Amino acid sequence: MSRKYSEGKAYKVIAFVFANFFKDEPLQIMKRMAEEGRRHNCKVIFFSTLTDFYFNDMNDEGELKIFSAVSAECFDAIVLMSESFKKDEEQLELVRRARAAGVPVFTVDKSFEGCINLVMDYRRCFKQIVEHMVQFHGYRRVFFMSGMPGNSYTVERENVYLEAMREAGVPREQCRIYYGYFWEEPCRRAMDQMFRDFAEGLEMPEAIICGNDSMALEVCAYLKERGFRVPQDIAVSGFDGLEMERYHRPRLTTGIYNVDGLVGTIFQILEEGCPEHYLTEKVSVHNEMRIGQSCGCSGLHHQSITTEMLAMKAEMLRLQKYQNDVNQMVANTGTMKKLTDALTVVPGFMGSLRYQDFWFCANEGFMEETVIDFAGQEQQADTADYTPVMEVLRYHNLDFSGGEESRADIHYWDLMKFGEIIPNLHAQLEENDFLLVNAVHLRGRSIGYTVITMDMERFWFIAYSAFLANFRHMLELQRYQNQLMKIYLTDLLTGLYNRSGFYQEVNRLLEMTEGLNLSIISLDMDGLKHINDTYGHAEGDEALHSLGSIIRSSLKHELAARIGGDEFLIAFAGKEVEERTEEIVRSIKQGIRDYNETSHKTYEIHASIGAYTDCVRNHTLDYFLKKADDLMYARKYMHKNEWGRV
């Protein structure tokens, strides 16, 4: 699909690609993008992940497929939260595709050539915090809890700290820098070092400025354990507006992400038509200082911490219950015999999410069993991320209230071309201002993606992330269940049924065809022992595999099995089966002749074939098998006399 989604429409369509949609800051940006999109007559399709690719493991490899789901040429613009991802290769490939299609790309905090690079100005905001401490409050003994040595953010904030202290007239020797590596445990070790320095005569600080909120919260906890009050004894500030800061007392003075400024800048440039001069300069968006109480001010008086903690506890218990529910979903559905049976029960576990519509867009044939070739090696699946045609499952929620009893209309396996995102995309965009797309993968290999619509204010995003992980796990169990059934019922050398599979299927056939005729074709390969003894068992396996392929190509819907070393059976029922029986036998014989003429092997394959047909109600299956075998062995005896060996 190469046409833009907005072609012929009054609106534009923007792709917004980012990590961890369920976390606080990305969620704020997502909501703001949707709001501004409505104001600017733009539809936003969000493409997101459950990871930022930090671990670079198999799960990350699968989540990376989200970039391939973006048909860059179909959008009017792409916004790439580039810093939210720890890997660049797939981002750069998306940028390359967009540039080739002439689609403008915005990046945030990680700049790529040829893009409109937006840079969040952390420096100015951080300097405001330092100046607030040393100029407004007049602190002079101000220490800095820095991040990871050598990190770009660390270096920038250290320089800002030293610059602001110098401008305030504080001597360099009074400036102390400790490294907390942006995390709690390293920060605690740095505080241990600070207190060892105090024991050796270092004067206690009046304030500690921290490079992020995680370290600031840990510094506050450490000081409290040592009997110090914040801010009465030592003032503390943070940076980056961490969600957990809401529940801390005193509230931190910190820097917060300027979501409004970022989103407003994006739409302003879009309104200007994305002029080329933006490609040669970085566009700064200034973050904001938020005054709390940890610096000594009296700002941010909210409801009591008890009320907020109770609300957080209730949310945690609710999420824990939901996680147990979706675990139960996996346990109940993962071993069902049919995927459709499993998918029928899934909506019952989605109601509390308060979604509107959910689509699972699967690669065509994604649940087909793995094929094992004649050498015993697993055939490699198509390495393409998505197939040209997608199979689509849709749940339409009939109750948006989020009640425990959830009902949904289920539409199975519509077909669409990859790139259409969902069937009837434009009809959905007329009703919805945005869609959320997530990759679905098994063991790092893409099998499709999900799309969901919702009311953003009511939707339970963190629970949806848990659902997606469990939905994927359920599909994986289903796939392995199918593979186990294949191993149990299928001859892996030829791809035909094995003895167990044949008897199971033919008995099911007999139950449905009592008044019809049954035909059994019995086939033995001639000379397999000679091939094994002369050319080796690998050649014998290839000969069996080739004969199995000839049999498969001669059939339509008939049952076929390899029931022993060189023994094959074919079974089917109908009113007039004699003609079809002769047709199958002729086709197999011709297939063998064609193989011998073109295989360039130093040996030929041959087979003895016997067939028997009668009415099902008159005889047992064993009777049919014996009759067909008798005819086959008669042929085999004739071949033995002709060739001298079989």
517-526: strand order across its sheet = 559-562, 567-574, 517-526, 606-615
| Structural domain total, the chain | 4
**Would the pLDDT of 480 be above 90?**
no
Could you tell me the end-to-end alpha-carbon distance of the chain, in angstroms, rounded to an integer?
58
SS3 labels along 539-588: HHHHHHHHHHHHHHHCCCCCEEEECCCCEEEEEEEECCCHHHHHHHHHHH
Together in a domain, 148 and 248: yes
d(CA 571, CA 569): 7
If you write DSSP's letter for every residue of 467-485 in order, what string do you get? HHHHHHHHHHHHHHHHHHH
Q: Report how far residue 29's alpha carbon sits from residue 261's, in angstroms, rounded to the nearest whole number.
A: 10
Q: Per the domain annotation, does 189 fall within a domain?
A: yes
Paired sense of beta strands 142-146 and 176-179, if any: parallel
- Whether residue 210 sits in one domain with residue 127: yes
Most confident of 189-198, 327-336, 634-643: 189-198
Q: How confident is the model at residue 176 (pLDDT cuts 50, 70, 90)?
A: very high
Same domain for 23 and 143?
no
Residue 493: inside a domain = no
Query: Is residue 388 a contact partner of residue 418, using CB atoms and an 8 Å limit?
Result: yes
How does the average pLDDT of the chain come out, rounded? 90
Looking at the structure, do residues 93 and 146 belong to the same domain, yes or no? Answer: no
Question: Is residue 231 a contact partner of residue 246, using CB atoms and an 8 Å limit?
Answer: no
At 163, which CATH number? 3.40.50.2300
| Interval 598-603 mean pLDDT | 93
Which run of H or of E encompasses 511? helix 499-512
Residue 293 lies in a domain: no
Are 244 and 327 in a shared domain? no
Higher pLDDT, 613 or 483: 613
pLDDT over 50 (residue 353): yes
131 located within any domain: yes
pLDDT cut 70: percent of the chain above it: 93
**Residue appearing with tokens 């401490």:** 133
Tokens at 105, concatenated: 């790309």
Q: Do residue 540 and residue 482 come from a single domain?
A: no
pLDDT of residue 371: 37
Residues 9 and 94 placed together within one structural domain of the fold: yes
Q: Per-residue pLDDT for 301 more than 70? A: no
Q: Are 232 and 173 contained in the same domain?
A: yes
Is position 589 within any domain? yes
Tens digit of each residue's pLDDT (9 = 90 or more) over 109-165:
999 999 999 999 999 999 999 999 999 999 999 999 999 999 989 999 999 999 999
What interhelical angle do 621-643 and 499-512 show, nearest 10?
130
Domain identity same for 503 and 459: no
Distance CA 252, CA 293 (A): 6
Other C-beta atoms closer than 10 Å to the C-beta of 538 total: 12
* Rounded-to-integer distance, Cα 122 and Cα 510, Å: 75
Q: Are 101 and 180 in the same domain?
A: no
Domain that holds residue 580: 499-643
Residue 296 falls inside a structural domain: no
What is the edge-to-edge ordering of all strands in the sheet holding 77-80?
Answer: 283-286, 116-121, 105-108, 77-80, 12-19, 42-49, 434-442, 445-454, 355-363, 389-397, 408-417
